[in-house]
Structure 1
Amino acid sequence: MEQLKIGIITQVRVTSTRLPAKVLLSVAGRSYLEHHLDRLSRTGLPVIVATTTNFHDDLVVQVCKEDGIPVFRGSEDDVLSRFAGAAREHELDAIVRVTSDCPLIDPEIVAAGVDRWRAENDPDLYISNCLERTYPRGMDFEIFSTARLYDAEAKATLKADREHVTPYLHQNRSGEMRLLNLPWSGGPHSKNAAQYRLTLDTADDWKLLDALIEEYDATRLGCAELVAILDAHPELATLNAHIEQKKLGE
């Protein structure tokens, strides 16, 4: 496969229901959104923020402008069309999809996923590390060609397909996708990794992330190091262990 243009698109909006404006909360002198974008930038790939046309998200645009991150604004509810618009505007051949509630996403894991996607040389390939969960929540990524994204944009009709971007792809509704899950390879802590939450969705998630960043300098750590801290300090993991992840369509 010739050198394709692959970019990371992260979806951001401040009108989240469980913890409004969560990505604009600050820790260690920067917003959680900036920590997230810093981590993604370390992959060496272009990073694009896909936010909404809602005036509340003018704040997101301002943060990105100050950090030199390009922004695409599209539908608040039809996130699939928002991603497709961002991909077209930046002339991407393939996309890494992430969400902005992952402030400690590991750039090395994402970059390794992109290397694998390139090596497979298959435009119908969908790669993720969460088809079967072996990583903590907050490390999730998906990689697929823009051709497949545009096919989903044209054909996906279910509300959940439009809101969550990729169900049409990873449920192989077209019958033409090849799915590949990349499991944890971070060493001896794998048995616990999937149970942890390193995502920012609720106030209790916020408490854990604040503690990790303030007390352990977590913005400098990779996934395996973060899991090792949670293994060694169960009192930290219990801060958000009770949180139920929202289901598709909720």
Structure 2
Amino acid sequence: MKEKSPGIVAIIQARLGSSRLPGKVLKEVQGRPLLSYMLERVAQSAYIGQIVVAITNRSQDDPIVDCCHKEGIAVFRGDEDDALDRYYQCASSFHADTIVRLTADCPLMDPKVIDAVVAEYISGNYDYVANTIPPNATFPDGMDVEVFSFAALERAWREARKPSEREHVTFYFWKNTDCFKTHRYDLEESLSHYRLTVDYPEDFEVVSKILSELYPRNANFTMQDIISFLMRHPEIQKNNASIASNQGWEVSLEKDKHTWREI
């Protein structure tokens, strides 16, 4: 039986300092910030008992605080570069047993996708479950959900040393599957060729059109509704189809090489 639990905490990572699309999480569609749409959708999860937006200590992120307060959502501020520490401190402050990690560049997040990944995590008694672990993940970029225990997060926080493992919260799980019981949740048919995240101007154009068309008809539209819409309008999907996913990972991994040369 699905039931909201205060111990299941969604921590949404957000910032305004994007180099590719500055201020992206507060860009507006029909007079409303993207983050506001996302918060409304995440709140519909049948499992999540608390929602927290985790931002940096930099003053440039202050407008995110204002947006969250208008939505009645808590905010936690922490280290800009050490996102792993930010997550750990946030989870500890809100007494999380289970963390649902989301990122604010996924404004179209489907609560049904969240619940499917959480249910998989619970039923399999895993330390970490995600629908995004490379290679060959089957979900669209922009439907990224990661679920893990506080105990696993605490271990990663204590042991992770490389820049990539501190900057990207769950890299340590991926790299140390012998230490954690991990699992990837997949679709029967891959939808990974669809791009629903917001990282570039072309992405915003696509997401803006999706929200403008689907939200007025049904605020609770699903991932499948989005895919059906894009199948009817392939010209929209083509706008961002050529953009590679997760380019920031490559930068972090390059930092690892330099770090280990210096040691």
TM-score where L is the length of structure 2: 0.87
The answer to whether the 8 A contact 1:104-1:219 is kept is no
The equivalent position to 2:71 in structure 1, one of 55, 67, 70, is 67
* Aligned-partner Cα distance in 2 for 1:208–1:43: 24
Query: Any idea what the Cα deviations from partners look like across 1:22-64, whole Å, max 9, x if unmatched?
Result: 0111112310011111111111411110001000111111111
* Conserved 8 A contact 1:18-1:202: yes
Q: Is the 8 A contact 1:160 1:249 kept in 2?
A: no
Q: Does 1:180 align with 2:178?
A: no
TM superposition shift of 1:21: 0.4
Task: Return the offset for 1:232.
Answer: 2.1
How many angstroms apart in 2 are the aligned matches of 1:177 and 1:5? Answer: 20
Q: Which runs of 5+ in 2 are unaligned?
A: 252-263
Residue matched to 1:43: 45
Residue 137 of structure 1 is matched in structure 2 by 141
Work out whether 1:119 is the aligned partner of 2:120.
no
Is this contact kept in 1: 2:164–2:171, CA < 8 A?
yes
Classify the secondary structure of the residue corresponding to 2:128.
strand
> Within the alignment, does 1:54 sit opposite 2:52 as a pair?
no
> In terms of mean alpha carbon deviation, does 220-229 or 51-60 score higher?
220-229
Equivalent AA in structure 1 for residue 195 of structure 2: R
Distance, in Å, in 1 between the alignment partners of 2:192 and 2:250 is: 22
Shift of 1:230: 1.4
Partner of 2:93: 89
- Which of residues 114, 127, 130 is equivalent to 1:110? 114
Match of 1:223 in 2: 223
1:133-161: CA deviation from partner (whole Å, max 9, x where unpaired): 11111001111101111111111011011
- Deviation digits for residues 205-233 of structure 1, max 9, x if unmatched? 01111111112337531111111221222
In structure 2, how many angstroms separate the alpha carbons of the residues matched to 1:247 and 1:77?
A: 13
User: Match for 1:182: what amino acid?
Assistant: Y
- Secondary structure of the corresponding residue to residue 249 of structure 2: coil
Structure 1: how far apart are the matches of 2:228 and 2:71?
A: 31
Which stretches in structure 1 are left out of the alignment for 5+ residues? none
The worse-fitting range, judged by mean Cα deviation, of 16-25 and 226-235 is 226-235
Query: Partner residue of 1:243?
Result: 243
Q: Tell whether the 8 Å contact from 1:35 to 1:219 is kept in structure 2 after alignment.
A: no
Partner of 1:213: 211
Q: Could you say which residue in structure 1 is the equivalent of 2:256? A: none
CA drift at 1:5: 1.3
* TM-score w.r.t. length of structure 1: 0.91
For the residues of structure 1 that align with 2:75 and 2:30, how far apart are their CA atoms? 24
SS in structure 2 at match of 1:5: strand
Mapped to 2, the partners of 1:219 and 1:195 lie a distance apart of 24
Q: 2:199 is matched with which residue: 201, 206, 214?
A: 201
8 A Cα contact 1:126 1:144, kept in partner: yes
The AA in structure 1 aligned to 2:169 is V
State the alpha-carbon separation in 1 of the partners of residues 7 and 123 from structure 2.
14
- Code of the residue aligned with 1:144 in structure 2: it is F
Deviations 1:103-158 (A, max 9, x none): 00110110121122122234xx2111112411111001111101111111111011
Q: 1:4 to 1:42 in 2, by over 3 A?
A: closer
Counterpart in the other structure of 1:14: 16
- Structure 2 Cα separation of the partners of residues 77 and 39 of structure 1: 28
Contact 1:159 1:249 (8 Å CA) reproduced: no
Aligned residues of 2:120 and 2:185 also touching (Cα < 8 A): no
Identity level (%): 35
Backbone CA RMSD of aligned residues: 1.6
